[in-house]
């Protein structure tokens, strides 16, 4: 090149020293047809669909079908104007090339919130939990999740897709199916009726008066409780608790020492599952659970979460345990209660704490030794219906230990609490038992323990004979 020299940027400049003129000869890209709205006009379609009555119909709004890196999808352009739809189709295509499928779907195909008149069973849990948060006195979260689980159980059984489709007739269908399945499994009528009533009562708790009012404010089509009047016979007979044989109870108290200290004569554990306790070694945690449930009448979760801060002394020096709310525990009845503790039981629990301190060099805030922390729940995860037990292995070891000694109750650990209740009811009164067990009303206590209370002697009246006789 003599007159022109090519620059690195593709421009040609005159080499004559007397010329200051620069000529820009950069090659500009040719406009593509796909970038023009007219290109998309011929690619617009009105999609067809089938009505509920089986007839075919055509949408009033335009849609476009896009292809990119092996994927394809339709986008509703939300307009019946063809020119406007073509411009929107072009813009969506440009965005797709720049951002990819995920961003494009999020921007142009957002998930619509469920319509109030089409609240599906799958959507209901989120709505239910959000509605509970608006109530002045909502139930405990674990209790609410149990209500929700029973409602979903009923909905799945009768195959309803929307909550408003759960009618009283559907509830009747569930009851019939539940009874038929239970009888095929050989369950006695008395037990299946109690279980059925419990399921219906808990499911119906999702439709209390205050919840129905809150649903109405949200425009939800839930105007009545479909379980109203479907609970069947009220006051179903509950088989009263039968106390453990006296010799069996004596064996439990006698053998409690070997549970605490270990039994060298116990057989070696046989692998049967994930956890198998070795009773040849000391099992202080299971022993503490035994003392709290049999000696104090605590429920399983109460014993599991009991803290040393619960203990105190009456003015006369007698120890007591106050079952109360903590950061990790809420009483079942929502109220605290005081339970007197036998001096021997209290001294044994203190002895376990001292041994744990000597072994680890630190004090555990919980009465049942072994773990001084509780796993922190993941608040982003959906709530669980089951409780978290910090001493689950101790409970399971105690169950195996009790069964080996002849406790045939379906829930051996809960039988210990019932044994405490039967002692209080027969030694003192049903009123005392209700207070110490933490029952919501004397009716609950009487249904379990009334038959244990002996007939009182009413021969106190001294009727004077008639004068002259």
pLDDT tens digits, one per residue of 323-370: 998 888 888 767 889 999 999 999 999 999 999 888 888 888 899 987
Is residue 306 located within the same domain as residue 186?
A: no
Give the residues of the chain that fall short of pLDDT 70: 1-31, 52-54, 111-118, 230-241, 272-274, 333, 371-388, 447-469
d(C-alpha 250, C-alpha 245), whole Å? 9
Q: How many contiguous H segments (helices) and E segments (strands) does the chain have?
A: 16, 11
* Residue 376, token pair as written in the block: 């922190």
Instruction: State whether 170 and 251 are in the same domain.
Output: no
Torsion of CA 25, 29, 33, 35, to 10 degrees: -120
420 shares its domain with 358 = yes
What's the pLDDT score for residue 273?
63
Same domain for 299 and 432?
yes
Nearest residue to 306 (alpha-carbon basis) of 371, 401, 362: 371
What pLDDT score was predicted for residue 450?
65
Domain contains 355: yes
- Indicate left, alpha or beta for 369 from its phi (over 0: left) and psi (-120 to 50: alpha): beta
Residues 282 and 403 grouped into a single domain: yes
Asked if residue 396 belongs to a domain, the reply is yes
By the 10 Å C-beta count (0-12 exposed, 13-18 middle, 19+ buried), 161 is classed as: exposed
Do 309 and 362 fall into the same domain? yes
Q: Which of 108, 139, 170 is the last residue of a domain?
A: 108
Judgement on whether residues 96 and 129 belong to the same structural domain of the protein: no
The helix or strand, by DSSP H or E, that contains position 348, with its residue range, turns out to be: helix 343-360
Q: 278 with 416, same domain?
A: yes
Name the domain count of the chain.
3
Last residue of some domain: 108, 138, 173?
A: 108
DSSP code of 405?
T
Q: pLDDT digit string (tens) for 75-119?
A: 999 888 898 999 999 999 999 999 899 889 888 887 644 454 557
- Evaluate whether residue 351 is within a structural domain: yes
Residue 368, in any domain of the structure: yes
Residues 205 and 348 in one domain: no
Owner of token pair 């593509």: 32
Question: Is there a domain that residue 223 lies in?
Answer: no
- The reported pTM is 0.59
Q: Is there a domain that residue 175 lies in?
A: yes
CATH of the domain at 437: 1.10.443.10
Same domain for 355 and 440 = yes
Integer Cα distance of 384 and 143 in angstroms: 10
Could you tell me if 276 and 368 lie in one domain?
yes
Same domain, residue pair 355 and 426:
yes
In this predicted structure, what is the pLDDT of residue 461?
A: 56
Report yes or no on 6 lying in a domain.
no
Domain that holds residue 270: 246-373+382-452
Picking from 108, 128, 161, the residue at the C-terminal end of a domain is 108
Instruction: Let me know if residue 206 belongs to a domain.
Output: yes
């Amino acid at each position: 090149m003599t007159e022109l020299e090519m620059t690195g940027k593709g421009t040609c400049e005159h080499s004559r020293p007397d010329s200051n003129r620069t000529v820009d000869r950069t090659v500009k890209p040719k406009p593509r047809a796909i970038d023009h709205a007219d290109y998309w006009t011929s690619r617009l379609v009105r999609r067809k669909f089938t009505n509920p009555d089986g007839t075919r119909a055509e949408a009033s709004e335009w849609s476009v079908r896009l292809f990119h890196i092996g994927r394809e999808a339709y986008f509703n352009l939300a307009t019946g104007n063809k020119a406007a739809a073509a411009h929107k189709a072009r813009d969506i295509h440009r965005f797709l090339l720049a951002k990819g499928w995920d961003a494009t779907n999020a921007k142009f195909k957002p998930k619509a919130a469920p319509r109030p008149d089409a609240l599906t069973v799958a959507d209901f849990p989120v709505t239910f939990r959000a509605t509970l948060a608006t109530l002045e006195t909502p139930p405990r979260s674990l209790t609410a999740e149990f209500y929700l689980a029973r409602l979903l159980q009923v909905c799945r059984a009768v195959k309803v897709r929307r909550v408003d489709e759960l009618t009283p007739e559907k509830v009747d269908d569930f009851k019939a199916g539940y009874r038929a399945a239970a009888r095929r499994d050989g369950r006695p009528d008395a037990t299946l009726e109690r279980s059925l009533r419990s399921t219906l009562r808990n499911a119906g708790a999702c439709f209390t008066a205050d919840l129905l009012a809150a649903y109405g404010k949200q425009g939800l089509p839930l105007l009545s409780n479909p379980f109203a009047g479907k609970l069947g016979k009220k006051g179903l007979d509950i088989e009263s608790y039968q106390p453990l044989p006296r010799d069996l109870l004596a064996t439990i108290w006698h053998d409690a020492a070997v549970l605490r200290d270990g039994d060298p004569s116990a057989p070696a554990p046989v692998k049967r599952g994930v956890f198998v306790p070795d009773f040849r070694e000391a099992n202080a945690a299971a022993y503490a659970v035994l003392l709290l449930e049999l000696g104090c009448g605590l429920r399983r979760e109460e014993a599991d979460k009991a803290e040393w801060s619960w203990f105190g002394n009456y003015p006369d020096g007698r120890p007591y345990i106050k079952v109360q709310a903590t950061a990790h525990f809420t009483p079942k009845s929502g109220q605290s209660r005081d339970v007197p503790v036998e001096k021997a039981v209290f001294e044994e629990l203190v002895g376990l704490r001292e041994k744990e301190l000597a072994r680890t060099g630190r004090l555990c805030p919980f009465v049942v030794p072994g773990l001084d922390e509780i796993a922190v729940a993941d608040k982003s995860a959906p709530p669980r219906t089951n409780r978290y037990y910090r001493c689950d292995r101790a409970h399971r070891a105690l169950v195996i230990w009790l069964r080996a000694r002849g406790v045939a109750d379906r829930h051996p650990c809960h039988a210990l609490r019932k044994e405490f209740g039967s002692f209080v009811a027969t030694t003192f009164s049903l009123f005392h038992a209700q207070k110490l067990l933490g029952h919501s009303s004397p009716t609950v206590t009487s249904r379990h323990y009334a038959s244990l209370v002996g007939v009182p002697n009413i021969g106190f009246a001294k009727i004077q004979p008639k004068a002259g006789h």
